[in-house]
Amino acid sequence: MSDISTLLKTAAPSISVNKRGELDCLEVRHPAFSADLLLQGAQLLHYAPAGEESWLWLSDSVEYKQGTSLRGGIPLCWPWFGNATMNPDAVKHHIADAEQAPAHGFARTRIWSLAEAYEDNDEVVITLTLDDCQHPLWQADLAVEAEFRFTASSVSVVLATTNKGETAVSFSQALHTYFPTSDIHNTRISGFDGESYLETLEGWQRKTQQGDISFGGETDRIYFGEETLSLITPKHTTDLSCQGSHSAVVWNPWIEKSLRLSQFAADDYQRMFCVETANAADDAVTLAAGDEHVLCMLLTRR
């Protein structure tokens, strides 16, 4: 950890590395904003402009344990999204035993390394790399890097994947963002009117969205489209724009599923929702040997 501290002292003095339970957390305390980024999973837990509440939801019962993804912030799902068995054949082709494969890939519980840090009066930029991209069940040679950029009025995450192998590789992924709301019943997502989605709770039927998305029960859908989305909660409107993604997963576990989730109180579903910037289902990425794919999300508020 002393290497990290030395790098931070010179390149980005507003970042310090501190323990949270068993995990190392990069704490950004810039005069204009703050952020907390775990090295495990390259998981961003918190971002807020000075004087504001966090733009990300994080469970009150979150567990800072090695090998366990935390419930909240932005877990990175890579190199497959969700249940491996539900991925397209091209992705499953690289997974030795999809039945046994962990949900959402393996990157979210691995330790990432600090590659670069930079700050000036306006922004802080942190780049993390995943040193060990191998997994007993994953049969492809991809490399991945994550860049986080914080300013007084925005946060962006870029996930860049490179095919280091000699043949094409298909993979799926998501920036699994948990957003806060003061009232899920008065929360809407605007931008997918007229677009198609897969209703995973009804046998993955393909349907068409009419108007805004609202929440009145368990929600677990994969939307297709590449619009800038507006996330409208009673207190805020947050704009979510992306690049390199043509799908977004909208998720809320609602009452019954909440009872089965780790690090999640029975009534937490009322105060959170996920909109995941993804390359999922039909939108999985195929990378030729040597090629790179860049997935990017940007959050701003009106």
Ligand X SMILES: O=P(O)(O)OC[C@H]1O[C@@H](O)[C@H](O)[C@@H](O)[C@@H]1O
**Quick one: 103 or 255, whose CB is closer to ligand X?**
103
145 binds ligand X (CB under 6 A): no
276 binds ligand X (CB under 6 A): yes
Q: Shortest approach of ligand X to residue 24 CB, angstroms?
A: 21
26 binds ligand X (CB under 6 A): no
In whole angstroms, what is the distance from residue 244 CA to residue 233 CA? 26
110 binds ligand X (CB under 6 A): no
Report the DSSP beta bridge partners of residue 252: 219
Write phi, then psi, for 267 (nearest 5 degrees): -105, 10
In whole angstroms, what is the distance from residue 234 CA to residue 113 CA? 38
41 binds ligand X (CB under 6 A): no
Torsion sign over Cα 239, 24, 114, 160: negative
Q: Shortest approach of ligand X to residue 176 CB, angstroms?
A: 6
In whole angstroms, what is the distance from residue 187 CA to residue 131 CA? 39
114 binds ligand X (CB under 6 A): no
Amino acid symbol at 272: M
In whole angstroms, what is the distance from residue 197 CA to residue 41 CA? 28
176 binds ligand X (CB under 6 A): yes
Of the residues 1, 50, 103, 266, which one makes contact with ligand X according to CB under 6 A: 103
Residue 13 neighbours by CB distance under 10 Å? 12
158 binds ligand X (CB under 6 A): no
**Quick one: 32 or 261, whose CB is closer to ligand X?**
261
283 binds ligand X (CB under 6 A): no
Site size for ligand X (CB under 6 A): 10
Q: Shortest approach of ligand X to residue 79 CB, angstroms?
A: 15
**Quick one: 15 or 274, whose CB is closer to ligand X?**
274
268 binds ligand X (CB under 6 A): no
92 binds ligand X (CB under 6 A): no
Site string for ligand X, 209-228 (x = CB under 6 A): -----------x--------
68 binds ligand X (CB under 6 A): no
**Quick one: 154 or 258, whose CB is closer to ligand X?**
258
Q: Number of C-alpha atoms within 13 angstroms, CB side, residue 33?
A: 22
**Quick one: 60 or 292, whose CB is closer to ligand X?**
60
255 binds ligand X (CB under 6 A): no
Q: Shortest approach of ligand X to residue 104 CB, angstroms?
A: 5
**Quick one: 103 or 289, whose CB is closer to ligand X?**
103
Q: Which residues of the shown chain bind ligand X in the complex (CB under 6 A)?
A: 69, 82, 103-104, 176, 220, 249, 251, 261, 276
